[in-house]
Amino acid sequence: TTSAGGDEKEAVKGYFNSVGFERWNKIYGTTDEISSVQMDIRKGHAVTVDKVLRWITEDGSVKGVSVCDAGCGTGSLSIPLALQGAEVYGSDISSAMADEAARRYEEQSKAEISGRQATPRFEAKDLESLTGSYHTVCCIDVLIHYPPEKMAAMVKHLASLAGDRLILSFAPSTPALLLLKRIGEFFPKGSKATRAYLHKEEAVEAALREAGWKVTKREMTSTRFYYSRLLQAAPATS
C-alpha cells in the first residue's frame, strides 16, 4: 500500500463496509463467539468509552448538550449519550457502521425505562466533510486510520467544529507499541486489511496548541492488544 492518498481512504471505507464491519460489529457487540484477542479489545475499548462518558457527565447533566461523535462506529459512545438526553450527531465513513448505530439506538431506547430522549442522528460521512458547531466533539479510536502527516490537519479540523470540548483518542507511538506493531501482535489477523498508524502524543498536543486548544485531561487504557491514549482539550482562552 502506498501511504495515505485518497485510495487509502477508499480502502478503509471498503473495509469497514465489509469484513471490517463484520469484525468490529462483533467486537463492539455482545456475542460471546469471538476470539480471546477480540474479547481483550472489546474490554479495553469499553474502558475507554466509560472514561469518556465519565468526563462528559461529571459536570452535570448532558441534556441538550450537542455532541458530534466523529467516526461513531456502531454507536458505543453516541447511544449512551443520546439515552441521557444529549443531542447527538454521529457520523462514520462506513454506511454499514452508521446504519448499525441507528439500529442499535432503536433497539436500546425501547428497552430504556426513561424512554426516548433526543433521537440521535447518524449519517455516513467522512471526517473531512464534517461541518457545523457542537459543544463537544469526540473522535475515539479513529486517528489510527490517519497517517501522521495527516493527523495535525484532522485534529485542527475537529477543533474547529467544537465550542467547549474536544475528546480524542489514539494509539500512542511508544517504543513498546512500535515493537508490538513490528512483530505483528498489535492489530492481528483480519484487521491487517487496513494499516494502523500510531501517533506521538507531543505531535497531537502540538496540533491542538496550534488550533488554540489546551489539554485538560489525560488517560491511558492498555490491555494486551488494545492501547488508547485519551485526551480532553478545551479552548486555551477559557
Tell the smallest beta-carbon distance from residue 141 to ligand SAM (Å). 4
Which residue type does 36 have?
A: S
Question: Which residues from 27-56 bind ligand SAM, rule CB under 6 A?
Answer: 28
Which residue type does 159 have?
A: A
Q: Which span sits near ligand SAM by CB under 6 A: 32-40, 67-75, 158-166, 173-181?
A: 67-75
- Rounded Cα gap, residues 117 and 95, in angstroms: 24
Q: Does residue 105 contact residue 134 with C-beta atoms inside 8 Å?
A: no
Check binding of 8 to ligand SAM (CB under 6 A).
no
Check binding of 67 to ligand SAM (CB under 6 A).
no
Q: Which residue is nearest to ligand SAM (CB)?
A: 73
Q: Does residue 41 contact residue 27 with C-beta atoms inside 8 Å?
A: yes
Residue from the set 65, 67, 79, 97 that interacts with ligand SAM by CB under 6 A: 97
Residue from the set 8, 12, 165, 180 that interacts with ligand SAM by CB under 6 A: 12
- Rounded Cα gap, residues 113 and 189, in angstroms: 40
For residue 194, the tally of other CB atoms under 10 A from its CB is 17
DSSP letter at 174?
A: -
Q: Which span sits near ligand SAM by CB under 6 A: 55-63, 68-76, 178-186, 210-218?
A: 68-76
- Rounded Cα gap, residues 54 and 153, in angstroms: 28
Hey, what's the cell of 98? 452508521
- Rounded Cα gap, residues 84 and 5, in angstroms: 39
- Rounded Cα gap, residues 210 and 188, in angstroms: 35
Total chain residues near ligand SAM (CB under 6 A): 20
Is 156 or 214 the residue whose CB approaches ligand SAM more closely?
A: 156
What three-state secondary structure class fits 16? helix
Residue from the set 92, 102, 105, 199 that interacts with ligand SAM by CB under 6 A: 92
Residue from the set 66, 83, 141, 165 that interacts with ligand SAM by CB under 6 A: 141
For residue 6, the tally of other CB atoms under 10 A from its CB is 7
Check binding of 102 to ligand SAM (CB under 6 A).
no
Check binding of 62 to ligand SAM (CB under 6 A).
no
Q: Which span sits near ligand SAM by CB under 6 A: 29-37, 88-96, 102-110, 178-186?
A: 88-96
Check binding of 9 to ligand SAM (CB under 6 A).
yes
- Residues found near ligand SAM in the complex (CB under 6 A): 9, 12, 16, 24, 28, 71-73, 76-77, 92-94, 97, 126-127, 140-142, 145
